[in-house]
Chain A
């Protein structure tokens, strides 16, 4: 690493109002940030896929009139039935968006849910 280059760049940056500097050449790259640079946004890495309520309503662990038993740890196929959210006029079917393992089941039979409330978390299957 060319420390002389780094010093030159930092000295030069002090004469400007730049807060960040990135440079890349032939696979070499440097990145310099001053104290004014914006902090890195926190990265929340979550490997689980959330399944949220598609509408406000009452959650039922049922599909086609059959009660469903959903337990944490069980495998699910993509498109598998995970119950319904029932409004005054319709039943909104909930299906697994990905295949994987059901890791968190927060949906409770007969419980009211609001739009966007996470009902399940699925750990997607590794390909």
Chain B
């Protein structure tokens, strides 16, 4: 948003994404009376977002590199259809500074922070520096990219430590190193992975916090320096750094810590001169001390959890900010906790066989319903899941006045959700909501792996 003080009203918005998030964005556009343009690859001709949008343009073949990641094609589609703005969704080009810059250059508005902000916060070591300057605690680490003297640096930080790629994400180019003897080997493999995935093998170190929680704070900031932070999301339930279940508020966070989290998130956002909707991620130790990890400069998969808790439409908020409007809510309104919410990510994966992707045709589709249930999905009966993209087929978001009733409702809804024709992660979610540690709120980022390990041990005992 280079032209901050100009107010404009979008007439037509192109969604540079697919799947459930494209459907999600179209829904808000309809409510705001803004026309929507869907883009799709040849593999997504029958996707729901194509049907729901006012217009749809085929921009390339199935492979993402030639379609959803093809900046030239996406912007051309926006120009041809006369869109004023582009919503990037999550994944694909959502955190690509080159794309954000190209959108603005084409005379369109990028619904998200500026290219400069994306680039600054995208380099994790720079993001850490910003947090440190803002007075927000970060995990002790190398304070920047490590050079050849990494052994001395690692000793200074102390083991165990994490080796992370400067441009990393999604757990790629990341290694836990428990002792110095493993350091060289771990560096080599992490660097190779980072090179392969991000084309960049600059690495940095961070102290490894044992049994941490992943706590993140949703924020929104406008062009006029106003920033608000919402109640935290607890995303500790992850498998291989991929989130499976997210809930808000966190059963571990008390009111005092919540305020501290929100203040810390606002400080980082202000220091980065951030404009838009984003997420500040923290790692929380069992002592409730928390450390800044990174800022996600996009709408996140788990944003509905926050929407349910605070009663706000975050996509609408993104659009209002991009239109140059002032934040329509105060910190007090943003931080309101109306209910307890949880999201179960339903993937077309076989959770009994190492979560292998299970594309295929959905022969039967009976989503859960009833009080306190929201299903965000692009799936319908007869929909063929393409093999080219991620395996998320639905997000089941459940709400209740308190956590005990929430878990009862989660169990009920997971039980009534029927997906025929493909394997899904629903059975695994049922195990999660039956897990004593999860029920008591005693979770950390290692819980899922421990559950899987226990299950395997049980099987081998039989």
User: Which residues of A does B touch, CB under 8 Å?
Assistant: 55-58, 87-90, 112, 114-117
Contacts and interface: CB of A to CB of B under 8 A. Distances in A.
A88 B105 CA distance: 10
A88 B59 CA distance: 13
Contacts of B61: 115-116
Contact of B42 (A87, A112, A116): A116
Contact of A115 (B73, B75, B79, B106): B73
Given A88-B106, A115-B42, A116-B42, A55 B76 contact: yes
17 contacts: A56-B77, A57-B76, A57-B80, A87-B73, A87-B75, A88-B72, A88-B75, A88-B76, A88-B79, A88-B106, A115-B42, A115-B59, A115-B60, A115-B67, A116-B58, A116-B61, A117-B58
Nearest to A112: B80
Nearest to A117: B58
A59 B169 CA distance: 39
Contacts of A58: 80
A112 B81 CA distance: 9
Contacts of B75: 87-88
Mostly, the B contact residues are helix
B72 A90 contact: yes
Nearest to B59: A56
A56 B335 CA distance: 44
Given A55-B76, A112-B80, A114-B57, 10 more contacts: A56-B80, A87-B72, A88-B75, A88-B76, A88-B79, A112-B81, A115-B42, A115-B61, A115-B67, A116-B58
A41 to B, nearest CB: 18
Query: By CB atoms of chain A within 10 A, which of B72, B75, B76, B77 has the most?
Result: B76
B59 A114 contact: yes
A87 B58 contact: no
Contacts, number: 44
A117 B80 CA distance: 15
A85 to B, nearest CB: 9
Query: By CB atoms of chain B within 10 A, which of A56, A89, A90 has the most?
Result: A56
A57 to B, nearest CB: 5
Interface string B66-110: 010000110111011100000000000000000000000010000
Interface of B: 42, 57-61, 67, 72-73, 75-77, 79-81, 106
A114 B72 CA distance: 13
A57 B106 CA distance: 14
Nearest to A87: B76
The 9 closest A-B pairs by CB, nearest first: A87-B76, A114-B58, A112-B80, A115-B58, A56-B59, A87-B72, A88-B75, A115-B60, A56-B77
Given A87-B72, A87-B73, A90-B72, A55 B60 contact: yes
A57 B75 CA distance: 10
Contacts of A115: 42, 58-61, 67, 73
B57 A89 contact: no
Contacts of B77: 56, 114
A82 B58 CA distance: 21
Contact of B58 (A56, A89, A90): A56
A90 B73 CA distance: 10
Nearest to B57: A114
B390 to A, nearest CB: 22
Contacts of A87: 72-73, 75-76
A116 B81 CA distance: 17
Contacts of A55: 59-60, 72-73, 76
A114 B80 CA distance: 10
A35 B42 CA distance: 35
Query: By CB atoms of chain B within 10 A, which of A55, A57, A58, A114 has the most?
Result: A114
A57 B72 CA distance: 10
Contacts of B72: 55, 87-90
B73 to A, nearest CB: 5
B61 to A, nearest CB: 7
B43 to A, nearest CB: 12
A90 B79 CA distance: 14
Given A87-B72, A115-B42, A56 B106 contact: no
A85 B16 CA distance: 21
Contacts of B59: 55-56, 114-115
Query: By CB atoms of chain B within 10 A, which of A87, A115, A116 has the most?
Result: A115
Query: By CB atoms of chain A within 10 A, which of B42, B61, B73 has the most?
Result: B73
A75 B82 CA distance: 37
B110 to A, nearest CB: 14
A115 B57 CA distance: 8
Contacts of A112: 80-81
Contacts of B73: 55-56, 87, 115
